[in-house]
Structure 1
Amino acid sequence: MITRQRPTVRVAAGLVAAAAVLLASALGVSAQWAPKGNVSWMAGAGPGSGWDTTARAALQAMSAHKVVGHPVTVVNKPGGSGAIAVAEMVNQHKGKNDVILVTSLPLITNKIMGTSPYGYKDLTPIVRLAATYYMVAVPANSDVKDFKDLIARLKKDPKSVSIGGSTPPADDWAAAMAVFGGAGLDVTKLKFIGYDGGQVAAAVLGGHVQAAVNTVGEFAQHVEAGKMKPLATTGPEREPKFQSVPTVKESGVDVVFMNWRGFVGPPGMPKDAVAYWRQKFGEMVKTQTWKDLRARYSWADAFMADGFDRFLDQNATLMADILKDAGAFKKK
């Protein structure tokens, strides 16, 4: 039997639907925004760097679990320890919703050190994804016995050992300043050689530096392959992968140093876009793929959405104090 809906019923249904829309509007509820085309995830360093690896790992986890249904492209914009990418975000992408930046400590230290006019307050905080600690390492054939031996040599002659890390004021440079400054060394006298983030390990393996500081994740594969000798790590406890490697604190230097990894948007990024990415990254960090990738790269779980802006304020204060104490700069 075929029945026909009477006009009065259709009108009533239409009125109910309209009322629902009006009620939702009054309550501030709307359909969730989502990108309609390609989204760019910008990394302020080259392929293989910490930022690049973070972005591609997050994208891998999202893709594997179909967290997003639109294309995402990782775009590398190396230079100035991330300062070039930050400047592009501020000057070219204000108010946009289709580009975000993977970042970390240099977003803070670049501003503190005056190597960039822009800092985290010029951008839109989205999420903190993970935390990383650092490793002090030497080539496998080095005659440096351990971390204490390295410090003793540097105290005797600060330029006796060349030390590699990312170009100042990148995160592993800041870690080096904190570690060696905490050991009582005048960091301004050290023979520090800066590289693009992805090139630090290559500098150690190629014999271009005699020691280096970088994230545990970026040195891990070379340590496991027997090509690097780890001396110490900067976490509060020994790294799960490297239980035989003492912490800096265990080795007599009272320093614990962490870097965070996260995403920020351009200045004035629409609130619905910020909410969208916070939800999607929140879903992503719960996936098994992301957990496996965190373990592979030695990243600690540190997800934060609400409160990320307050964390950045606190981190900026902490970093200014660390760098000042290390003698890396003088406040004006």
Structure 2
Amino acid sequence: MHVRNLFAATVVAASLSTAAIADVSVMLPANPGGGWDGTGRQAFAAMNAAGIYTEGVNFTNTGGAGGTIGLAEFQNSQSGKPDALAVFGAITVGAIMLNSSPIDLSTYTPIARLTAEHLVIAVDARSDIETLEQLVEQMKADPGAVPVGGGSAGGVDHIALALLAQAAGIAVGDLNYIPQAAGAETVTGIVNGTLKAGISGISEFQQFQDQGRIRILAITADERREGLDVPTFKEAGFDVEIANWRGILGAPGMPEDNAAEWIARFDQLNDSAEWQQVMQTQGWDSYYQSGPAFGEFIAEENARIGDILRGAELVE
């Protein structure tokens, strides 16, 4: 576990002390340097720069098991507290089921969904497959003969492929999905022929398409992405939209007044020039939603991902 403190410049200047007490505790349920870590730290840095929240922030990194270890620690130590937040994301929803975790996201306080990265599916640049429809036709004919690589079993990449299969009338359990350690390994498999196709985030695949190594066929967004001339899954005839989103939860039992304050702060953050600059610099897409609407979204994701994982026979 790694613990670091970030203090507002005004507080440090006033006290010149390293013993300042943080006013909010933020669980980052991943190791330093990952996506959740960056999202949490960058969000509070932008909030401080924008003058929205300039008090101290205590970050705790506890990684492992798709965020479930950190969230369990957070739940045990922070429940009921007014200023305790946690970063989480789409991966967490499936990880809770895959790891048989006792965590129940419905008991947490929904604050804000912040960012997202949509996924793309790609083949070798030399492949005779030029469209998503052509790839799906091969999958329909013999799913087992079409190995598709992506992230961990039950993760967002796997779920996106399962949704595509469902939309195309292919049994999810028949898919030949092969988990890879990283996007670069997926590309290697595509290029050397051990994989017929691969699915990953745009940031993982874009550079390899630019290098002429792979051909991106489609994106899981609701509309085409600027700078990437490929259709959406929906344009290709498959009603699939999914993103690897990240957001903020309040502690279970957080007082309503405190929850309302944090929702208002993140609403302001989303509208701030400072946060817009962060997202542009990091290559993140805005996927903002807050409060009860975000809570409803989490419940829908939980139900949808649960159905997919059961269909893939990954959970009972």
Give TM-score, length-normalised by structure 1.
0.72
Give 1:150's aligned residue.
Answer: 135
Partners of 1:43 and 1:144 in 2: CA distance: 41
Give 2:71's aligned residue.
Answer: 86
Partners of 2:214 and 2:124 in 1: CA distance: 5
- Distance of aligned partners of 1:46 and 1:165 in 2 relative to their CA distance in 1, 3 Å threshold: farther
Partners of 2:172 and 2:72 in 1: CA distance: 29
Q: CA deviation at 1:178?
A: 0.8
The answer as to whether partners of 1:36 and 1:70 remain within 8 angstroms in 2 is no
The reply on whether 1:163 has 2:148 as its aligned counterpart is yes
Partner of residue 238 from structure 1, selected from 217, 224, 235: 224
Larger radius of gyration: 1
Q: Deviations over 1:20-61 (max 9, x none)?
A: xxxxxxxxxxxxxxx941644333344565433432442342
Partners of 1:174 and 1:90 in 2: CA distance: 27
Letter matched to residue 204 of structure 1:
T
Partners of 1:59 and 1:239 in 2: CA distance: 27
The answer as to whether partners of 2:22 and 2:58 remain within 8 angstroms in 1 is no
Q: Deviations over 1:281-313 (max 9, x none)?
A: 122111223224444535134232343323333
Q: Deviations over 1:204-251 (max 9, x none)?
A: 244387333233355445545555431111122212232x20111222
Partners of 1:159 and 1:49 in 2: CA distance: 33
Give the 3-state SS of the residue equivalent to 1:229 in structure 2: strand
Give 2:291's aligned residue.
Answer: 305
Give 1:31's aligned residue.
Answer: none
The answer as to whether partners of 2:119 and 2:157 remain within 8 angstroms in 1 is yes
Partners of 2:127 and 2:116 in 1: CA distance: 29
- Distance of aligned partners of 1:222 and 1:100 in 2 relative to their CA distance in 1, 3 Å threshold: farther
Q: Deviations over 1:162-205 (max 9, x none)?
A: 3333323333322221123322323323332335xxx5323224
The answer as to whether partners of 2:27 and 2:60 remain within 8 angstroms in 1 is yes
Give 1:51's aligned residue.
Answer: 36
Mean Cα displacement is larger for which, 116-125 or 156-165? Answer: 156-165
The reply on whether 1:182 has 2:164 as its aligned counterpart is no
User: Which residues of structure 2 form unaligned runs of 5+?
Assistant: 1-19
The answer as to whether partners of 1:188 and 1:328 remain within 8 angstroms in 2 is yes
- Distance of aligned partners of 1:66 and 1:254 in 2 relative to their CA distance in 1, 3 Å threshold: same
| 1:140-289 matches, cutoff 5 A | 140=125, 144-194=129-179, 199-207=181-189, 210=195, 211-224=197-210, 226=212, 228-242=214-228, 244-289=229-274
The answer as to whether partners of 1:137 and 1:230 remain within 8 angstroms in 2 is yes
Q: Deviations over 1:105-151 (max 9, x none)?
A: 34433455673222311322222223443211245565643323332
Partners of 1:249 and 1:179 in 2: CA distance: 10
The answer as to whether partners of 1:90 and 1:122 remain within 8 angstroms in 2 is no
Letter matched to residue 108 of structure 2:
L
Partners of 1:40 and 1:152 in 2: CA distance: 50
Give 1:18's aligned residue.
Answer: none
Give 2:312's aligned residue.
Answer: 328
User: Which residues of structure 1 form unaligned runs of 5+?
Assistant: 1-34
Q: CA deviation at 1:88?
A: 1.9
Partners of 2:120 and 2:185 in 1: CA distance: 15
Letter matched to residue 216 of structure 2:
P
Partners of 2:50 and 2:211 in 1: CA distance: 31
Give the 3-state SS of the residue equivalent to 1:261 in structure 2: strand
Give TM-score, length-normalised by structure 2.
0.75
Give 2:80's aligned residue.
Answer: 95
Give the 3-state SS of the residue equivalent to 1:312 in structure 2: helix
Partners of 2:187 and 2:59 in 1: CA distance: 27
